[in-house]
Chains A and B, each alone.
Chain A
Amino acid sequence: MRRIGGFWRRFAISPAAAAGLVIFAALLAATVLAGLISPAPPGAIDLDAALERPSLSHPFGTDPFGRDVLSRIVHGARISLGVGFLARTISLLIGLFLGSLAGYFGGRLDSVLMRLADITFAYPTLLLLIAIIAVVSPGMISLFVTLGVVGWASVARLVRAEVLSVKEREFVQAARASGANHAVILLRHILPQCLASVLVVYTLGLGMTIMAEASLSFLGLGVQPPAPSWGGMISGGIAFMRTAPWLTFFPGLFLTLTVCSLNLIGDGLRDALNPRLASALAKPPGVSGGRPGAAIEGSR
Chain B
Amino acid sequence: MRTFIVKRLAMLVPILLGVATLTFILMYVVPGDPVRALAGERYDEETLARMRTELGLDRPLAVQYVAFLGRLARFDLGRSFVTRRPVAEAIRERFPRTLVLALSAMVLAIVGGIAIGTIAAWGRRPVVSRILMTFSLVGVSMPVFWLGLLLIYLFAIKLRVLPPSGYGGGSIRNLILPAVTLSFASMATIARVTRSGVLDALGEDYVRTARAKGLGERIVLGKHVLRNALIPVITIAGADFGSYLSGSVLTESIFGWPGLGRFVVQAILRRDFPVIQGAVLFMALLFILVNLAVDLSYGAIDPRIRPEGGKR
User: Interface residues, chain A, CB within 8 Å of chain B?
Assistant: 16, 115-116, 118-119, 122-128, 130-132, 134-136, 207, 211, 214-215, 218-221, 231, 234-235, 237-238, 241-242, 245, 248-249, 252, 255-256, 259-260, 263-264, 283-284, 286-293, 297-300
Q: Which residues of A contact B152 (CB under 8 A)?
A: 241
Q: Which residues of B contact A290 (CB under 8 A)?
A: 192-193, 196
Q: How far is it, in angstroms, between the C-alpha of A16 and the C-alpha of B141 when the chains are bound?
A: 14
Q: Contact check: which of A131, A207, A238, A260 meets B23 at CB < 8 Å?
A: A131
Q: How far is it, in angstroms, between the C-alpha of A234 and the C-alpha of B149 when the chains are bound?
A: 9
6 contacts between A and B (CB under 8 A): A16-B137, A119-B15, A125-B242, A134-B276, A241-B157, A289-B197
Q: How far is it, in angstroms, between the C-alpha of A293 and the C-alpha of B232 when the chains are bound?
A: 17
Q: How many residues of B contact A (CB 8 A)?
A: 62
Contact of B143 with A256 in the complex, beta carbons under 8 Å? yes
Q: Which residues of B contact A234 (CB under 8 A)?
A: 143, 145-146, 149
Q: How far is it, in angstroms, between the C-alpha of A286 and the C-alpha of B302 when the chains are bound?
A: 11
Chain B residue with minimal CB distance to A210?
Answer: B143
Contact of B246 with A289 in the complex, beta carbons under 8 Å? no
Given known contacts A118-B18, A124-B245, A219-B250, A287 and B239 CB-to-CB distance under 8 angstroms: yes
User: Interface residues, chain B, CB within 8 Å of chain A?
Assistant: 14-15, 18-19, 22-23, 26-27, 30, 37, 137-138, 140-146, 149-150, 152-153, 157, 185, 189, 192-193, 196-197, 232, 235-236, 239-240, 242-243, 245-247, 249-250, 253-254, 264-265, 268-269, 271, 273, 276-277, 280, 283-284, 287-288, 291, 294-295, 298, 305
Q: How far is it, in angstroms, between the C-alpha of A266 and the C-alpha of B295 when the chains are bound?
A: 27
Q: Which residues of B contact A119 (CB under 8 A)?
A: 15, 18-19, 22
Chain A residue with minimal CB distance to B233?
Answer: A289
Contact of A291 with B146 in the complex, beta carbons under 8 Å? no
Q: Contact check: which of A136, A207, A219, A292 meets B253 at CB < 8 Å?
A: A219
- Min CB distance B307 to A, Å, is 9
Q: How far is it, in angstroms, between the C-alpha of A280 and the C-alpha of B209 when the chains are bound?
A: 32
Contact of B15 with A219 in the complex, beta carbons under 8 Å? no
Given known contacts A122-B19, A134-B273, A127 and B249 CB-to-CB distance under 8 angstroms: yes
- Min CB distance B304 to A, Å, is 10
Number of A-B contacts (CB under 8 A): 169
Q: Which residues of A contact B189 (CB under 8 A)?
A: 291
Contact of A256 with B137 in the complex, beta carbons under 8 Å? no
Contact of A283 with B239 in the complex, beta carbons under 8 Å? yes
- Min CB distance B21 to A, Å, is 8
Chain B residue with minimal CB distance to A289?
Answer: B193
- Min CB distance B140 to A, Å, is 6
Contact of B143 with A214 in the complex, beta carbons under 8 Å? yes
Contact of A287 with B236 in the complex, beta carbons under 8 Å? yes
Q: Which residues of B contact A260 (CB under 8 A)?
A: 137-138, 141
Q: How far is it, in angstroms, between the C-alpha of A296 and the C-alpha of B37 when the chains are bound?
A: 31
| Main SS class of interface, A | helix
Chain B residue with minimal CB distance to A230?
Answer: B143
Q: Which residues of A contact B19 (CB under 8 A)?
A: 119, 122-123
Contact of A126 with B246 in the complex, beta carbons under 8 Å? yes
The residue among B141, B146, B287 with the most chain A CB atoms within 10 A of its own CB is: B141
Contact of B30 with A135 in the complex, beta carbons under 8 Å? yes
Contact of A284 with B295 in the complex, beta carbons under 8 Å? yes
- Min CB distance A153 to B, Å, is 12
Besides A248-B153, A284-B294, 8 other A-B contacts (C-beta < 8 A): A130-B276, A219-B265, A238-B254, A241-B157, A249-B150, A256-B142, A286-B305, A287-B232
Q: How far is it, in angstroms, between the C-alpha of A283 and the C-alpha of B236 when the chains are bound?
A: 10
Q: Contact check: which of B144, B197, B287 meets A300 at CB < 8 Å?
A: B144
Q: Which residues of A contact B232 (CB under 8 A)?
A: 287-289
Q: Which residues of B contact A298 (CB under 8 A)?
A: 240, 242-243, 245-246
Q: How far is it, in angstroms, between the C-alpha of A16 and the C-alpha of B134 when the chains are bound?
A: 10
Contact of A264 with B137 in the complex, beta carbons under 8 Å? yes
Q: Which residues of A contact B143 (CB under 8 A)?
A: 211, 214-215, 218, 231, 234, 252, 255-256, 259, 300
Q: Contact check: which of A136, A211, A289 meets B30 at CB < 8 Å?
A: A136
Contact of B141 with A263 in the complex, beta carbons under 8 Å? yes
Q: How far is it, in angstroms, between the C-alpha of A219 and the C-alpha of B247 when the chains are bound?
A: 12
Q: How far is it, in angstroms, between the C-alpha of A135 and the C-alpha of B246 when the chains are bound?
A: 18
Contact of A116 with B149 in the complex, beta carbons under 8 Å? no
Contact of B14 with A134 in the complex, beta carbons under 8 Å? no
The 7 A-B pairs of least Cβ separation, nearest first, read A252-B146, A119-B18, A260-B141, A126-B246, A298-B242, A124-B242, A289-B193
Q: Which residues of A contact B37 (CB under 8 A)?
A: 135
Q: Contact check: which of B250, B277, B291 meets A218 at CB < 8 Å?
A: B250
Contact of A123 with B287 in the complex, beta carbons under 8 Å? yes
